[in-house]
Structure 1
Amino acid sequence: MNYEEFLETINTHKSPPAGLSVHSKSLWLDKKGDWQAAHDLIDQLDDPTSAHVHAYLHRVEGDLWNARYWYNRAKQPVFEGSLQEEWTALVKLYLA
């Protein structure tokens, strides 16, 4: 699935499409407005990719201290752009 197809599913599906990684599912749920479900998918995972998405989700929540903690766990710099720019970058990165 490419980025454009992923975006289309947000408008046409009630739940994440089959075959997405947990990271892409989390980002999909976030875009649908279900932050809690997005966070619940990632919260207990300990890999760097999950930590990266987790950092973004805490940035969305406005908990910048916690977001910085997760960026550090992911070995990623704190994202300096808008939330939309970060969401787009993460989707493109983790769909690949």
Structure 2
Amino acid sequence: MDLKTLTQTASENAPEPEGLNDTERSLWLARAGRWDEAHDLCQTLHDPAGSWIHAWLHRQEGDYGNACYWYSRAGKPAADQDASLEEEWIEIAKALLD
């Protein structure tokens, strides 16, 4: 899965693409606005990728304190509270899809 396809399919509310691994699926669900499903899935990803997505989801939710915990679990610096969620999602997706 590449960034362009992942972004376009989620933005267009298309059916979930087949063959996504759990990291890709969690990113796709987050982008598609399916917060609960993305959150449930990233909680099962016991690796830095899952923690980074988890952090982003809590920042999107407005729970910055919880987001900071998950950034630390991911080994990433916490994003600024006012940073663009869109830009951060793209940063995460680029890093995890490479």
Q: Tell me which interval the TM-score lies in, with the shorter structure as reference length.
A: 0.7 to 0.9
Q: Give ranges in structure 2 of 5+ residues lacking alignment.
A: none
The within-5 A match list for 1:60-75 is 60-75=60-75
* Residue identity matched to 1:27: L
Deviation, 1:42, is 0.8
Moved more, 4-13 or 36-45: 4-13
**Corresponding residue number in structure 2 for 1:19:** 19
- CA–CA distance in structure 2, aligned partners of residues 56 and 12 of structure 1: 20
Question: 1:8 corresponds to which letter in structure 2?
Answer: Q
- Structure scoring higher RCO (CA < 8 A, sep ≥ 6) equals 1
CA deviation digits over 1:9-40, x for unaligned, max 9? Answer: 2226222x123231221121112111000001
Is the 2:48–2:73 Cα contact (8 Å) retained in structure 1?
Answer: yes
Q: How does 1:1-96 map to 2 (within 5 A)?
A: 1-10=1-10, 11=12, 13-15=14-16, 17-80=17-80, 81-96=83-98
C-alpha spacing 1:64/1:12, structure 2 compared with 1 (3 Å): closer
Q: Which amino acid aligns with 1:56?
A: W
Aligned residue pairs: how many?
A: 95
Residue 58 of structure 1 aligns with an amino acid whose one-letter code is H
Distance apart, 1:78 and its partner CA? 0.6
TM-score by length of 2: 0.86
8 Å Cα contact 2:13-2:32 kept in structure 1 = no
Counterpart-to-counterpart distance in 1, 2:44 and 2:65: 18
Q: Distance in 2 between matches of 1:55 and 1:48?
A: 10
Q: State TM-score, norm by structure 1.
A: 0.87
Runs of 4+ in 1 over 6 A off after TM superposition: none
